[in-house]
Structure formats: C-alpha cells, structure tokens
Amino acid sequence: MAYFSIAGCANDPDYARAEMLAHHLHANLPDFHTTLLPKPPSSWPDYVATTFTQNRWDARMSRDRKFKKPEDLKQMIWRDSGELIGDAADFLRMMKETYDQELQIADDLLLEVSKENMEALTGKSGG
C-alpha cells in the first residue's frame, strides 16, 4: 500500500501536475492512495512551516537524502510513514522511478486545473 499526502497552493500548476499524476496512479494501481491538501496561497507559508516543524523534517533527510528547508518547498509531499518526499518535482521523479509512470500534461490544462482548484477552495467562480 502506498499512501501519500500532497499539499500545495491551490493555484499552483506544479501542485496540479502532482495532483493529476496521483489521480492517474490511483485509478490504475489499486494500492495507491493520496490525500490532497490544497491551500490558499496566503496561508501556505504558515502551513508549510508548521507541518515541517510538527514532522521534525528539519532533523531528518528527505527521500533523496537531502535536508530540505520549508521556505524552499513550493509543494510538500510525504508518505503516511512521515517520510518527506519533497516537492512536486521530487514526487514526479519518484513515481517515474518506482512505477515507471509519468504524464505529459499541457500547460493550459494545468492552468485550468489550478483555476478550478482555487475556485473550489474559495467557493468563487472565475466565470
């Protein structure tokens, strides 16, 4: 079983890319599960700092054996075991290495998904 939490700004196209790959993997791999945590851009700095500290990632290396800094994470992805994967690029690389899965997604589609994520989070339609 693979469980991942994927957090990021709702309006971030890279978050949308990780989200779309996670949906694809969930649909095609029965033991792949995710929790999506879109956040308003205004609350991201506090959310990432708090989550980073709560999980003690300042004292543990991420999956790629590097120490990450919360201010460098534009997205934040981790396993249910508490292992920090890193950002969307780290997650995409891991999914390619582990499952030989990747998606080619057009930039305009990522922007549309980002817009929809933000609208769903705020309850406002961009019309």
3-state secondary structure of 18: helix
Could you tell me the residue range of the domain that residue 118 belongs to?
2-122
What are the b/e assignments for 60-84, b being 16+ CB within 10 Å? Answer: eebbeeeebebeebebbbbeeeeeb
Q: What is the pLDDT along the chain (127 residues), one digit of tens a residue?
A: 899 999 999 999 999 999 999 999 999 998 999 999 999 999 999 999 999 999 999 888 888 888 989 999 999 999 999 999 999 999 999 999 999 988 899 999 999 999 999 999 888 665 4
Per the domain annotation, does 95 fall within a domain? yes
Cα 89 to the chain's mean position, in Å? 9
Per the domain annotation, does 46 fall within a domain? yes
Q: Which residue has the tokens 């995409």?
A: 92
Per the domain annotation, does 66 fall within a domain? yes
What's this model's pTM, rounded to 2 decimal places? Answer: 0.89
Per the domain annotation, does 33 fall within a domain? yes
Whole-angstrom distance, CA of residue 43 vs CA of residue 101: 31
CATH of residue 56's domain is 3.40.30
Q: What is the pLDDT of residue 126?
A: 55
Per the domain annotation, does 56 fall within a domain? yes
Question: What sections of 55-87 are H helices per DSSP?
Answer: none
Q: What is the pLDDT of residue 115?
A: 93
Whole-angstrom distance, CA of residue 82 vs CA of residue 16: 22
Torsion sign over Cα 115, 116, 121, 123: positive
How many structural domains is the chain composed of?
1
3-state secondary structure of 84: strand
Torsion sign over Cα 115, 117, 118, 122: positive
Per the domain annotation, does 127 fall within a domain? no
